[in-house]
Amino acid sequence: MSIITPLRIVFMGTPDFAVPTLAALVAEYPKAVALVITMPDRPRGRRKQVSPSPVKQWACDHAIPVQTPESAAELVPIIQSIEPTLIVVVAYGRLIPATITNHYVCVNSHSSVLPQYRGASPIHTALLAGDTETGITLIRMNDRLDEGDILQVNRVPIAPTDNLASLTATLATCSASACVEFIHTRFLRGHLTGHPQDHAAATYTQKIVPSDLQVDVHADPMAIHNQIRAFSPKPGAYVMHHNKRIKLIESTLDHGKLVLTKVQPEGKPVMTYTDYLLGHPNGALL
């Protein structure tokens, strides 16, 4: 298969996680990123002020054209107007219709080793499961959720000290290098053949909901420890204590016993659990 030149990329992504990949593509191929597509401005942060996505903000700061279609119907003509040779998708936030995936080379960077952990929360799920390895999978997209043929897998270890923030940062960096590597070693050489996923082995993750954050204090210590890691530091796993929400930010395991090390009482900054107990002598949380 011959690749149309010059390289003309449309990048689709929305959260902070996607920014390193966009930045890496712009750095490596400064004239190739023709357009960035991201989700529309939404209320964000504690004050719910309407603001651009992190990807839109980065693109605007670097003078890259941005579009924010409200629907797939709006997306299709935008793509057709650019006629990209490659579409790179990282955590865009919306399924892409077959009108696009069937007619363009559309590559998605997904933050797990597929077919494990398809769906909305692969990083949280890997930590909740106590996995010791994860990775970035590049797939040739179709119009179904994370079901495309696998083009490339870049594996990374999960350290015992990793939490949601650290593992997300590691995978964001891995996504950036994986996408640049793929373009350089495969796409520009016309090597686009992937291999089908084993759909029978697929597992699916769900969007995180508030009830996922509350800790069952009677659960297995390892399960609680992994729950703390999976939501730390934000949004934060928590327990209710004297009608106050106490976030559990960090813990360790000592011979199978859970040891809290950092917590965040409601309305207060993160503190060591030792300091928390000094102010709450009868306030043991677990």
Query: Could you report the per-residue pLDDT of 48-70, keeping only the tens digit for each?
Result: 889 999 999 999 999 999 999 99
Angle at Cα 148 formed by Cα 122 and Cα 94, nearest 5°? 60
Q: Is 70 exceeded by the pLDDT of residue 10?
A: yes
CATH number of the domain at 14, please.
3.40.50.170
DSSP-based three-state secondary structure for 115 = coil
Query: Is position 56 within any domain?
Result: yes
Angle at Cα 200 formed by Cα 195 and Cα 203, nearest 5°? 95
Average pLDDT over the chain, rounded to an integer: 95
Confidence of residue 1 (pLDDT cuts 50, 70, 90): very low
Query: Is position 69 within any domain?
Result: yes
Q: Is 90 exceeded by the pLDDT of residue 282?
A: no
Q: Based on the domain organization, do 65 and 172 belong to the same domain?
A: yes
User: Which of 153, 183, 205 is the last residue in one of the domains?
Assistant: 205
Q: What was the pLDDT predicted at 45?
A: 73
CATH number of the domain at 248, please.
3.10.25.10
User: Which of 181, 205, 229 is the last residue in one of the domains?
Assistant: 205
Q: Is 60 exceeded by the pLDDT of residue 279?
A: yes
User: Which structural domain range is residue 244 located in?
Assistant: 210-279
Share of the chain above pLDDT 70, in %: 98
Query: Is position 1 within any domain?
Result: no
Q: What was the pLDDT predicted at 48?
A: 82
Question: According to DSSP H, which parts of the chain are helical?
Answer: 19-28, 54-61, 72-82, 98-101, 122-128, 164-185, 221-230, 273-279
Q: Is 90 exceeded by the pLDDT of residue 11?
A: yes
Query: Is position 236 within any domain?
Result: yes
Q: How many separate domains does the chain show? A: 2
Q: What was the pLDDT predicted at 5?
A: 66
Confidence of residue 269 (pLDDT cuts 50, 70, 90): very high
Q: What was the pLDDT predicted at 113?
A: 98
pLDDT of 204-263, one tens digit each? 999 999 999 999 999 999 999 999 999 999 999 999 998 999 999 999 999 999 999 999
